[in-house]
Structure 1
């Protein structure tokens, strides 16, 4: 397993470029198609400010029952990712980049914010979740980082992915899933507030999303001032500098 991860890290830049392009192209088509349908219903594709169901139930990497509300206890922000644990390409690259960005972020994971990864494959098990937890948490540089890997039944998965408008589709021929990739930032009351699309994340973007999702409760005075120089663009789920007039 360690050899695989090292190989991924060595080739990360090239693979990121290729796969990110594929994700953006395929997901943009999906957004356009969904938006055309949902605009007729008076909805927006990215359901920002939607209150998520806090009663959704999961199992964590230790086999404990966890409700969505438990993930928000004592924290101001939850960063959520949706993946499936048998994935060895896009999901693995997302984990590599997320762990690397969290390491560079310099904030303790579990003090004000935490991370949870939910598998959208109902066949994934607690044992597989435990393996992922063992591999990826240390990559953040924090052995005790609050990054949980969760599994759930099909009903809970469908409810969560529908609330977030997260696209995924099982491919029977290959046994794999085609899916989008993003970080979802959830407020302490369960409100879906921000998302960052793709599998590559700048630490400063994650930091700004956390600060904004916490309504300014997290971050130093200087860090909050620095957020004034970037603006969030819902169309592509990214921050852009206002100094470049973008």
Structure 2
């Protein structure tokens, strides 16, 4: 069969597009790891967790690129009399890259699960310690109020009422003044309300940590597992056929 422009151009276009996808995704990943967002604090294992998450998020583009290269090679084989390019060096390289990426994505799964659980425990411990410090601060305020004389308490309440009546206190400042007044007028009620608010905020933060770590661990692990299956299937199948 005489080669046509289409039979020559189509595999070339697919291979070129595939190579560009593979290289551009790798370059993008390198720059993301080299220049992470400034608002992220990446120390120790947190950098590796960020790196694996970024790798999984960008794992589809190299897969598409490899698929384009393989599809272009197949079209070249079936559309030309000589079966396309006879050299297998680049084919071995392509399938070896797919196998390597598949192995990397497999190894990411246990690392992701273990690391997210460690960070979850650290964040929950930090929340507990901060809640304890806040509670100790509240107890210290109560002790200070109990040590004040009645005249001093009345004087502070009058100053608070005056500032509230002036209408200048708004938003967070007004809320703080009302809490301070409650502390002076009814310390026991203030302690109960503060403890309730503290428990609500603690539960909210713990729920956020659990949700965030669950999404990070499960989503990344599942995506990594699917990518690993795809890469290993292409890589190992291709190597077996090329090397036999």
Per the normalisation by structure 2, the TM-score is: 0.22
Per the normalisation by structure 1, the TM-score is: 0.22
Choose 1 or 2 for highest CA Rg: 2
Q: Which has the higher contact order (CA 8 A, sep 6+)?
A: 2
Query: Counting strand residues as a fraction of each chain, which structure ranks higher?
Result: 1
